[in-house]
Chain A
Amino acid sequence: MEEFLFFMEVLVSGLLQGFMYSVVALGFVLIIKSSGVFNFAQGSMCLFAALGMVSFWEAGIPFWLAVLLALLMMVVLAVAIERVVLRPLVARPPLILFMATIGLSFFLEGLAQGIWGTQPHGLDIGIPDRPFKGFPIDVSQFELFAAGVAILLVVGLVIFFHRTRIGRALRAVSDDHTAALSVGISLRMIWGVTWALAGMVALVAGILWGTRLGVQYSLTLIVLKALAVLILGGFNSITGAVVGGLIIGGSEKVAEVYLSLYFGLGGIESFFGYLLAMLVLFVRPYGLFGDEIIERV
């Protein structure tokens, strides 16, 4: 029984962490879905958003206003990226766009740290990272809160994609650029909206992870976790991002704890998700929920 409870505790904490991976992966999915760009700068956008928000807050602006300001900042940034980086690169091969986002991530890291400094900031949003009392297993309040935020975000995005005009336009663009253009959807507007949305998701991810790790450079590294989630779930599926996050979060925690308990091998968290994702890809080459790409000669 004791064993089982311990296992459950590890599993639940892993699953909750998985929700936090999903939030990061969502930012990628949004951009890939509408523009086909593999945005490596998502992690830097998290850092940028979180650093900005913390700095506003520390300057004495109330919490919610600071979040709003940071949101506004991300929208401006998104529009700027669309204008300066994406527009000149329209219709280039995906690899070039991917490389451009790597350049963008260097740029954003430099910019964020240049404006707000390199020292780590603590971020306390008032929800303690402590377990609830009275449960048979320990579940951190903060992790529960983060999971709740992730679920809200997903539900919100799904409603946005399926129930609003802009959402429908976004789906049309992701289906077929040319066809969408021909019915009068403005690609530029759509890309601006997508990047702004991705920026907002980055802000949420940045705040959640910043609370856990502190707002600092290492925030950019969480993309590496999200990438494994992304290929496991499928690049262009919101469901995939969530399910993938849960699978990787849960299994890597269990593997980490038990492998280090019985074999003394620590630190497998850095690659376990990727190996798992690779195994899944052998069976399903487009991830669990990704669209199959049909090739014609």
Chain B
Amino acid sequence: MIYRESGQFASSYAKDMRMFPLLQDRWAFGALLVFAFVVIPLIANDYWLSSILTLFLIYSLSAIGLNILTGFCGQLSLGHAAFMAVGAYASYNFAVRLHTPVLVNFLLAGFVAAAVGLLFGLPSLRIKGFYLAVATLAAQFTIEWVLVSFNWFAGGSMLGAIDTPPMNIMGWDVSSNLDKYLLTLSVVVVLAIVAKNLGRSEVGRSWRAIRDLDVAAEIMGIRLFPYKLLAFMVSSFYAGVAGALYAFCYLGSLEVTAFELAVSFRLLGMIIIGGLGTILGSFLGAGFIVLLPILISQAIVFLHISGASDFLANAELMIFGGLIILFLIVEPYGLARLWQTIKEKLRLWPFPY
């Protein structure tokens, strides 16, 4: 009843091709934007803004990037966090050395990451599947090592520790947690819409064809190499921007270890739990992985389970691992699929049929 599409006709090509063809979806999207831009700044406290919501948005952006590569194009990557590192350090260097404006800076960081992504995407010409996945670990370790070993990247400080300079966008001083949240949110919303449309374009369809069966795609006239490389570049671009946001809006000062291998795996977990090949899934997965440890530790506090902090940390690990496995067993297509199911149900609810 609530979610009924009957009676909504697309009377022009543009209407047929728009991003949310259903009125309900458009309303929901608008409401979500209002909620994120207006309601959350009013109700959220500093802790939520600074350590949960901003992080969630940044991870979502990075997960969208990985989803483009893995979910759309089918190339598994285990080194996604390294491209975030490239973005973070590139934006730092642009800001400190060239004093470029903040937004230009983020864009440039994305392009630098894309260039590096192109380089590490080259093996995808010949290598496939898990061989490629392990080869992408080369990106993770090589980039980490380069950033730590050559301290030029961090302006001369040891171990690649950087401190980001203050941000100012045309007179808007981005300094409070709320400002940073809003900046992050704006960037993420724009890039998410771009990604959504990219997925529906000719490029996106070619990626899907490659993902489903690359030999068949090639026979149909899709040139594999440019499209695979494009996927690597776009994916790294998103990671780069996310990394820049991570440095400037979330942490402020950081070391290379902020982008270690575990982060790459966490990102992979987000897109698999959220749903491969969907933008919505990237957000849901990021929310799940960011919130889960907090919920687990809160639950432990709430239930008054006392014990050594060691024990609690291990219990958290076990619950986290166990939930990932459980999730894969119960809902293989991810949280995005769950949302689909809810929509199907809402079409008829509250009537039986």
Contact = CB atoms under 8 A, between A and B. Distances in A.
Interface of A: 38, 84-85, 88-89, 92, 94-96, 98-100, 102-111, 113-114, 117-118, 224, 227-228, 230-231, 235, 265-268, 270-271, 274-275, 277-278, 281-282, 285-287, 293, 295-297
B352 interface: no
B135 interface: yes
Contacts of B311: 114
B171 interface: no
Given A96-B332, A118-B310, A268-B145, A102 B123 contact: no
Contacts of B123: 278, 281-282
A60 to B, nearest CB: 24
For chain B, the bracket of interface size reads 35 or more
B131 A281 contact: yes
B23 to A, nearest CB: 35
Contacts of A228: 134, 137
B339 interface: no
B149 interface: yes
Interface of A is mostly: helix
B215 A295 contact: yes
A99 B318 contact: no
B130 A274 contact: no
Contacts of A89: 328-329
A281 B317 contact: no
B145 A231 contact: no
Contacts, number: 145
A266 B328 CA distance: 41
B321 A227 contact: no
Contacts of B200: none
Contact of A113 (B134, B142, B310, B332): B310
Given A267-B149, A278-B123, A107 B322 contact: yes
B316 interface: yes
B36 interface: no
B315 interface: yes
B328 A100 contact: yes
A297 B145 contact: no
26 contacts: A38-B133, A85-B329, A96-B272, A100-B329, A102-B265, A102-B324, A103-B328, A107-B322, A110-B316, A113-B310, A113-B314, A114-B315, A231-B134, A231-B135, A270-B145, A274-B134, A274-B135, A274-B138, A274-B142, A278-B135, A281-B127, A285-B128, A287-B131, A295-B215, A297-B215, A297-B216
Interface in B128-161: 128-131, 133-135, 137-138, 141-142, 144-145, 148-149
Contacts of B314: 109-111, 113-114, 118
Contacts of A297: 213, 215-216, 219
A38 B130 contact: yes
Given A118-B310, A282-B126, 10 more contacts: A85-B325, A96-B328, A107-B322, A108-B321, A110-B314, A113-B314, A224-B261, A227-B134, A270-B141, A282-B127
A189 B329 CA distance: 21
Contacts of B213: 297
A271 B134 contact: no
Contacts of A118: 310, 314
B49 interface: no
Interface in B74-114: 76
A111 B134 CA distance: 26
A258 to B, nearest CB: 16
A42 to B, nearest CB: 13
Nearest to A38: B130
B321 A106 contact: yes
A224 B311 CA distance: 26
